[in-house]
Amino acid sequence: MKINYLKNILMSSAVAGAVSCGTGAAPDLSSVQDAGDKVKRVEPLSWWTGMKTPLQLMVYGDGISEYDVRMEGGKGVKVQTVHKADSPNYLFVDVRIAENAAPGTYWLVFSRDGEIFKYPYEIASRAAGSAARGSFGTSDMVYLIMPDRFANGDPSNDSAPDTAEKADRSEFFGRHGGDIQGIIDHLDYISDLGATVIWPTPLLLDDEPEGSYHSYACADYYRIDPRFGSNELYREFVQEAHGHGLKVIMDVVTNHCGEAHWWMKDLPFKDWIHQFDEYTGTNVCFSTNMDPNASAYDLNLQESGWFVPSMPDMNLDNPFVLSYFRQWAVWWAEYAGLDGFRVDTYPYNEKGPMSEWCSSVLKEYPSFNIVGECWTSSIPQLAYWQGGNGNKDGFDSHLPSIMDFPLQEAICRGLSTDSMAWGEGMVRIYDCLSHDFVYHDLSKMMIFAGNHDLDRIGDVLKHNPDRQKIMLAMMATMRGIPQLLYGDEMMFVSKDRSQGHGGLRVDFPGGWEGDSQDFFSEEGRAAAMTGTDGKPVPEGRIAELHDYARTLFQWRKGKKVIHDGKTMHFLSRDNTYAYFRYDDTDAVFVFINNSRGKKRIPWSHYSEIAGGLHDGRNVVTGEVMEISDSTVVGPRQALVTEFKRH
């Protein structure tokens, strides 16, 4: 006992002496024992020199709050403040990294009553140009993938020994085996389609006992789900995507975690999550965020109520929670080399802390784009969430981009009907876009006809390939940042629409060994005789739709007038719709005939912009196009023509 006591005193003195030396030689820690299982977690997993985001380590271990902690091992890195939590098993450690700090392995040194042990912590050099990285915008097309349903590149990881749910491809809400390797294997397909950005739904560990395939109930914010791959493979995927000219958006969830998250067994603070005497769900009343008449009671329920019973609601008003999520976002951006974020369930978060979160990310990466899922049909309420909007209450979300749900609703309701009743058909889209004056920045709006949470647009359009092509033409030519759900380029439909999300999130044919059809290959598309619901499709329509989408989106890549041009549209009440995208030198004319009969283009209606247009070309066929009153567009057809101006 006496010998061990003297040994601990000597080691403690050595460390204390090094601290007092400031920038002197690093202490000799070789005789200090490693932490072993005393420290179970330290998050973030690592950090970098030259970052603007303050570093606050969350240290987790049995009784760890009883220990003093200091940082040793090099120059310019030291512990500033240590915070205890409600649980004795956490410490929150503020670490200062000086501008002249040297990259390398540092040591968190813990000591108590003569006991001392160390834990390694890596601080690397920030990559050159990291802060100046670009992001996604109007020149891009975003391809949305649900990884579990896209392609199975590594069958060996379909199930993992340390996760609860095992793979069963026959289950609508089960894991089917798609993974990161499957995405890597098909980057050529995505790039060839004309996409320039990949948005995979979350890839972090979701360890719920069932329905975990979507990964929106996170169980570990710093670990890729082993059934998808690993942290290293995710970083490799981003690098491979960049090599194919593709950017990568990470889908992040700050509003809630999953019940299976490791901290749910031992919360750092009682208010780490929102807790009630009994389960209390959110009232989903987004208007409480901007309604001057809203009660504090309703606002609290909107922010604090749980999304669903399996998804505990995070309390971003707790400054340690907010700090955790600020660092987490920056860590993944830096570690993986990301190009942007999509934030799930954005208005369910506390709006003040989320404004700080956005500001923090943008301070680190000024050109970074973040798009928020603000799911509302109300145009004024949607506009409220975009950063820089002139809100009456003075609130600024600092959220650069928003998802255009009102336009999505207008497209689905307008395209799916033959009705020419007042306000029906294509007039819905005209009316929706007539409200563009409400928005702060039209270039920072993600437009889409469907996503992983909505009915497949192929189902909405009643499995009609011609209307599907109209949708694709609009996605390629309207203002904003277009997003396409995987398979919508070939009119994927639900396998069983009655199964809701599980039925619409269909497997991509060809992504699994033994598939009878392969829609990734040109030959497989040409030979396809059934759709994703197993029912026959008209001969050649799968390949026709794909090639139509590829032609439009490849053309769109280099069409600056589509990226940055203005819009002028024209009202009609015969289920047609016409609009121009234009600038000083170029124009793109789109005429949509969603009716059951042929329609003559009324060029005289467009004289204010049609004058001076010349050198017309049909974008899809390459044919020369003249401005002529004899031009006729067939039923349920879209004409896309590019012109020079003046």
Cβ contact 122:355 at 8 Å: no
Q: Is 583 found in the same domain as 466?
A: no
Assess if residue 221 is contained within a domain. Answer: yes
In-domain check, residue 68: yes
Integer Cα distance of 379 and 436 in angstroms: 9
Q: Are 119 and 166 found together in one domain? A: no
Q: How confident is the model at residue 27 (pLDDT cuts 50, 70, 90)?
A: low
In a shared domain, residues 615 and 545? no
Q: Check which CATH number belongs to the domain holding 58 and give it.
A: 2.60.40.10
Domain count within the chain: 3
Residues 251 and 375 in one domain: yes
Range of the structural domain that residue 590 is part of? 566-645
Is the domain of 553 the same as that of 571? no
Q: What is the rounded distance in angstroms from the CA atom of residue 8 to the CA atom of residue 32? A: 9
**Single residue among 500, 524, 557 that ends a domain in this structure:** 557
Angle among Cα 620, 622, 628 to the nearest 5 degrees reads 95
Q: Is residue 254 part of a domain?
A: yes
DSSP three-state, residue 574:
coil
CA 549 to chain centre: 23
Would you say residue 12 has pLDDT above 80? no
Co-location of 572 and 543 in the same domain: no
Structure tokens at 168: 């069963």
User: Has residue 135 been placed in a domain?
Assistant: no
pLDDT score at 28 = 66
Look at residue 641 and tell me if it is in a domain: yes
- The verdict on 544 and 590 lying in the same domain is no
Sign for the pseudo-dihedral over CA of 597, 598, 600, 605 = positive
- Nearest C-alpha neighbor of 337 from the set 365, 360, 311: 365
Instruction: Single out the residue in 511, 529, 557 at which a domain terminates.
Output: 557
Could you list the active site residues?
344, 373
Share the mean pLDDT of the chain: 94
What is the pTM for the complete model shown? Answer: 0.95
Indicate whether 219 and 115 sit together in one domain.
no
Q: How many CA atoms lie within 13 A of 247 on its CB side?
A: 21
Is 50 exceeded by the pLDDT of residue 511?
yes
What CATH number does residue 597 fall under? 2.60.40.1180
Q: What percent of the chain has pLDDT over 90?
A: 93
DSSP track, 519-568? TTSHHHHHH--B-TTS-B--TTHHHHHHHHHHHHHHHHHT-HHHHH-EEE
| 345, 239: one domain | yes
Q: Of 13-22, 174-183, 303-312, which range is least confident?
A: 13-22
Contacts of 630 (CB under 8 A, 6+ apart): 600
CATH number at residue 523: 3.20.20.80
- What pLDDT, on the 0 to 100 scale, is given for residue 629? 86
Same-domain check for residues 586 and 497: no
Say yes or no: 529 and 578 in one domain: no
Q: 65: number of CA atoms within 13 Å, CB side?
A: 12
In a domain, 496, yes or no: yes
pLDDT value at 19 more than 90: no
Residue 306 lies in a domain: yes
Check whether 39 has a pLDDT greater than 70.
yes
Is the residue at 208 inside a domain?
A: yes
Residue where one domain finishes, among candidates 73, 89, 124: 124
Q: Are residues 98 and 171 in the same domain?
A: no
pLDDT of 7 above 80: no
DSSP collapsed to 3 states, 230-285: CHHHHHHHHHHHHHCCCEEEEEECCCECCCCCHHHHCCCCCCCECCCCCCCECCCC
* pLDDT digits 0-9 by tens, 54-80: 999 999 999 999 999 999 998 899 999
